[in-house]
């Protein structure tokens, strides 16, 4: 009696352990009795199918839980084969639960035959593998996407082992460096890296292995298979396993050889330009000093002739000679003005109050304003500070304001308005008049040229706007103009804002 009780207790304990294991692994059991025509599902199997515990399954309904199509056809074929030949089956399938949820399951089955060789039962287990399968498929999809991106990327891509050998490279990198895929895998990155770039590259890789960096980017040089240099922008990241141990590097390699060659070409052009500018500045000094001295000597000699040899002035060529010398002197003075402007640099800029210089120029021509019955409206912001050269600021505004009076309309009194606006690091100074205007279609391209005039005025030298434009540009600014004949002109000057 005691032995029976002990055996019963042991059996119950074994059942508890078995049930616990089924719960933990989400594994249920099932059985199809072909003699009695009954189907048994364990509690876990019913939970997987999302049916009630009082649900009584039958063979047809059990098969219909499998997703229609490939899954249902596959389980039917395996089940029938198990009955007919005794072949066991073990497969992964999709089912549609009673609540309409799509789920991945693993179904394992084996048949039992009687002494006459007739299959009487099919037994098996049923496991919920939905989360695991979804994660696996998601990982597989991710890996497939990475593979496609890797193989078809427009830039070079490579997987590199910790020791620096190439694990995998894409076609773009092969074309970029000139090696075949098989040839690449026989090399290390050191074999094709320019010696001058090797140390910095290797140092950065070691910093990644020591967890000092997650990713790095550098410009480096590779040797093409034909011996030429390939400039590349290299971006490298380190791939680790789930324990944090480094596995391999992933590199993205963009060919920037054309850009680097263009930079070198631009650098060379800048050197040439710098040299030419130096020569031009030297020439400007020659013009402003030597020619000025020679023209001055000629003018002095003519003055002496007028005093010491007055009879020479009666010669018909003397007036022409004197006029030619006067014109030469004027030309040299003009060239000197231009030379002085072009030798100024941005380092000469100081912070100045814009309103002050505008008002100062207006005040300096007050007699001309009264004589022409003109009105100046200075709407400039009194607090705006700009970067400029004081002498140039005086010259620029004085030239625009006197031009507005010089080329006034003959039918109305001059009205000149000045407005200011801060925009993108610059101060826009808008000077608008109602004068004669300029035919920009005819003269637009020549407007700021040297010795260009557009109105018949006795004081026009064609130099004012040329010098003014040069002065504005020397201060880091620019100038724009709009105009209509007989309606007026608008000049917009861009000067550097003090915070620009």
Question: For residue range 240-264, what is the model confidence (pLDDT) as tens digits?
Answer: 887 888 888 888 888 988 888 888 8
Q: CA-CA distance, 154 to 146, in Å (whole number)?
A: 14
Backbone angles phi, psi at 64, to 5 degrees: -70, -15
Same domain, 113 and 211: no
Of 63, 29, 66, the residue nearest 44 (C-alpha)? 29
Show which of 232, 255, 278 is a domain's final residue.
255
Looking at residue 67, the DSSP 8-state letter turns out to be: P
Report the relative pairing of strands 415-423 and 375-378 from DSSP bridges. parallel
Both structure tokens of 30: 């099932």
Same domain, 11 and 101: yes
Same domain, 350 and 491: yes
Same domain, 389 and 489: yes
Of 189, 191, 245, the residue nearest 218 (C-alpha)? 189
**Is 305 within the bounds of a domain?**
yes
- Write the CB contacts of 231 (distance below 8 Å, at least 6 apart in sequence): 219, 220, 221, 255, 256, 257, 259, 260, 261
Same domain, 381 and 466: yes
389 conformational bin, left if phi > 0, alpha if psi -120 to 50, beta if neither: beta
For residue 4, pLDDT over 70 is answered with: no
**Is 279 within the bounds of a domain?**
yes
Same domain, 312 and 360: no
Q: CA-CA distance, 406 to 395, in Å (whole number)?
A: 16
Q: Which of 1-15, 122-136, 159-173, 216-230 has the lowest mean pLDDT?
A: 1-15
Same domain, 488 and 475: yes
Same domain, 228 and 276: no
Same domain, 332 and 382: no
pLDDT tens digits along 21-75: 445 457 899 999 999 999 999 999 999 999 999 999 998 889 999 999 999 999 9
For residue 236, pLDDT over 50 is answered with: yes
> For the whole model, what pTM was predicted?
0.40
3-class DSSP state of 499? coil
**Is 139 within the bounds of a domain?**
no
Q: CA-CA distance, 42 to 37, in Å (whole number)?
A: 17
Same domain, 81 and 20: yes
Of 337, 332, 328, the residue nearest 467 (C-alpha)? 337
CATH code of the domain covering residue 29: 3.30.450.20
Q: CA-CA distance, 21 to 64, in Å (whole number)?
A: 28
Looking at residue 188, the DSSP 8-state letter turns out to be: B
Number of domains in the chain: 4
Per DSSP, the residues of 96-148 read E-TTS-EEEEEEEEEEEE-TTS-EEEEEEEEEE-HHHHHHHHHHHHHHHHHHH
Q: How confident is the model at residue 451 (pLDDT cuts 50, 70, 90)?
A: very low
Q: How far is CA 276 from CA 216, 254, 332, in A?
A: 41, 36, 22
- Write the CB contacts of 235 (distance below 8 Å, at least 6 apart in sequence): 215, 216, 217, 251, 252, 253, 254
Same domain, 243 and 286: no
Show which of 306, 326, 342 is a domain's final residue.
342
**Is 292 within the bounds of a domain?**
yes
**Is 477 within the bounds of a domain?**
yes
Show which of 215, 232, 255 is a domain's final residue.
255
CATH code of the domain covering residue 407: 3.30.565.10
- Range(s) of the domain holding residue 306: 261-342
pLDDT given at position 345: 56
Contact 207, 216 (CB under 8 A): yes
Same domain, 424 and 487: yes
pLDDT given at position 15: 46
């Amino acid at each position: 009696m005691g032995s029976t009780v002990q055996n019963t207790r042991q059996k119950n304990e074994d059942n508890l352990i078995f049930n616990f294991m089924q719960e933990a692994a989400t594994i249920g059991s099932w059985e199809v009795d072909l003699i009695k025509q009954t189907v048994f599902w364990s509690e876990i199997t019913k939970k997987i199918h999302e049916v009630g515990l009082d649900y009584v399954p039958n063979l047809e309904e059990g098969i219909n839980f499998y997703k229609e199509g490939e899954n249902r056809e596959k389980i039917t074929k395996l089940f029938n084969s198990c009955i007919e030949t005794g072949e066991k089956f073990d497969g992964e399938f999709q089912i549609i639960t009673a609540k309409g949820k799509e789920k991945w399951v693993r179904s394992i089955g084996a048949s039992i035959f009687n002494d006459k060789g007739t299959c009487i039962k099919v037994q098996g287990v049923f496991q919920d593998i939905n989360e695991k399968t979804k994660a696996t498929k998601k990982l597989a999809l991710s890996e497939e996407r990475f593979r496609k991106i890797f193989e078809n990327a427009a830039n070079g891509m490579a997987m590199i082992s910790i020791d620096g050998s190439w694990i995998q490279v894409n076609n773009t990198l092969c074309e970029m460096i000139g090696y075949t895929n098989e040839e690449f895998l026989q090399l290390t990155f050191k074999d094709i890296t320019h010696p001058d770039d090797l140390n910095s590259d290797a140092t950065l890789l070691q910093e990644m292995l020591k967890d000092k960096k997650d990713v790095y980017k550098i410009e480096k040089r590779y040797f093409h298979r034909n011996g030429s240099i390939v400039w590349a922008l290299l971006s490298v990241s380190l791939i680790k396993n789930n324990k944090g141990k480094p596995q391999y590097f992933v590199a993205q390699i963009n060919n920037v050889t054309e850009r680097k060659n263009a930079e070198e070409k631009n650098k060379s052009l800048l050197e040439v330009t710098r040299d030419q500018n130096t020569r031009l500045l030297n020439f400007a000094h020659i013009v402003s000093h030597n020619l000025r001295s020679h023209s001055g000597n000629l003018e002095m000699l003519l003055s002496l002739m007028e005093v010491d040899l007055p009879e020479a002035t009666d010669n018909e060529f003397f007036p022409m000679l004197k006029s030619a010398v006067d014109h030469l002197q004027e030309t040299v003075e003009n060239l000197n003005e231009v030379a002085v402007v072009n030798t100024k640099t941005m380092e000469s800029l100081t912070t100045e109050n814009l309103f002050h210089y505008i008002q100062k120029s207006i005040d300096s021509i007050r007699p001309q304003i009264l004589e022409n019955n003109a009105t100046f409206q200075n709407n400039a912001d009194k607090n705006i500070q700009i970067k400029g050269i004081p002498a140039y600021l005086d010259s620029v505004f004085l030239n625009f304001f006197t031009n507005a009076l010089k080329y006034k309309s003959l039918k109305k009194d001059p009205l000149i308005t000045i407005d200011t606006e801060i925009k993108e690091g610059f101060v826009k100074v808008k000077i608008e008049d109602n004068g004669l205007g300029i035919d920009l279609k005819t003269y637009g391209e020549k407007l700021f040229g040297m010795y260009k005039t557009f109105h018949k005025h006795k004081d026009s030298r064609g130099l004012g706007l040329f010098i003014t434009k040069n002065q504005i540009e020397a201060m880091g600014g620019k100038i724009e103009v709009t105009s209509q004949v007989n309606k007026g002109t608008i000049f917009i000057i861009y000067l550097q804002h003090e915070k620009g």
